Amino acid sequence: MKNRIIRIYKWEYFWLCVIVIATLIMHFSIVTNPNSLILDEQHYVKDARSIVSTHVDQRPEHPPLAKLFIVAGIDIFGDNPFGWRVPSVIFGTIGIILFFFICRRLKMSPRATNLATFLFGLETMNFLHASIAMLDVFFVTLTLAFFLLYLYREYLLSGVFIGLAALAKLYAALGTPALFLHWIFSKTKPSKWFIATVIAAPLSFVVFMPLFDFALTHQFHSPLDRIKDMLSLSSSLMFSNVSHPALSRPWSWLLNFQPMAYWYNPRYTAAISPSIWGLIIPIVLFLIYRAVKRNEAGLFGFAWFLGTYLLWIPISIATNRVSFIFYFYPSVGALCLGLGMGLNEAIEWVSSKRKRVKWPVLAGVTVILLLHIASFVIITPVFLRT
Tens of pLDDT, residue by residue over 166-187, are: 999 988 888 888 888 888 777 6
What was the pLDDT predicted at 109?
Answer: 95
pLDDT digits (tens, 9 = 90+) for 90-116: 999 999 999 999 999 999 999 999 999
Half-sphere exposure of 224 toward its Cβ, with a 13 Å CA cutoff? Answer: 0
Query: Tell me, what amino acid is at 227?
Result: I
Query: What DSSP assignment string belongs to 122-184?
Result: T-HHHHHHTSSS-SHHHHHHHHHHHHHHHHTT-HHHHHHHHHHHHHH-GGGGGHHHHHHHHHH
pLDDT at 270 over 60: yes
User: Average pLDDT in the 283-304 region?
Assistant: 94
Instruction: Kindly state the average pLDDT of the residues 322-328.
Output: 91
Is pLDDT above 70 for 68? Answer: yes
Instruction: Provide the pLDDT confidence category of residue 246 given band limits of 50, 70 and 90.
Output: confident
Q: What is the predicted pLDDT for the residue at 353?
A: 67
- Angle value at C-alpha 341, between 136 and 269, nearest 5 degrees: 30
Residues 6+ apart with CB under 8 A from 24: 89, 93
The alpha-carbon radius of gyration of the chain (Å, integer) is 21
Q: What is the pLDDT of residue 275?
A: 95
Task: Tell me what pLDDT residue 317 has.
Answer: 92
Nearest to 118 by CA among 299, 371, 290, 351: 371
pLDDT at 59 over 90: no
Q: Mapping DSSP to helix (H, G, I), strand (E, B) and coil, where does residue 385 land? A: coil
Q: What is the pTM of this model?
A: 0.94
- Residues 78, 79, 80, 82: is their CA dihedral positive or negative? positive
Q: Which of 68, 88, 85, 65 is nearest to 77 (CA)?
A: 85
What is the model's pLDDT at position 338? 97
